[in-house]
């Protein structure tokens, strides 16, 4: 530290310090479990939309198709993972 300016000098371009590689924490949640919960959540949203008519009336009549699309796409993703194609360890 320079006593007059208060400036702290860090390592310069000539200093060779090797930093440890950053390792993300290990995730214990399996992807297929997350997909199952996502599909379940879309079913809950669909049930709420069906049970509360005011949510799907007027200009919001298309809202029902959003959870339907979520369920269909989630099911496709679930099938993909069940076949073993979504294994990130082998990618």
User: Exposed, middle or buried by CB within 10 Å (0-12, 13-18, 19+), for 47?
Assistant: exposed
User: Higher-confidence residue: 33 or 84?
Assistant: 33
Once rounded to an integer, what is the mean pLDDT over residues 1-17?
A: 59
pLDDT at 44: 98
Give Cα 37 distance to the centre of its chain. Answer: 12
CA distance 85 to 50: 34
Q: How far apart are the first and last CA of the chain?
A: 48
Tens digit of each residue's pLDDT (9 = 90 or more) over 28-81:
888 889 999 999 999 999 999 999 999 888 998 999 999 999 999 999 999 988
pLDDT at 78: 92
CA distance 58 to 56: 7
């Amino acid at each position: 530290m320079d006593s007059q300016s208060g400036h702290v000098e860090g390592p310069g371009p000539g200093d060779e310090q090797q930093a440890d590689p950053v390792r993300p924490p290990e995730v214990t949640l399996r992807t297929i479990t997350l997909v199952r919960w996502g599909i379940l959540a879309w079913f809950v949203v669909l049930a709420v939309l069906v049970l509360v008519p005011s949510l799907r009336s007027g200009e919001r009549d298309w809202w029902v198709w959003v959870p339907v699309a979520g369920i269909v796409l989630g099911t496709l993703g679930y099938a993909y993972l069940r076949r073993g194609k979504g294994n990130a360890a082998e990618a």
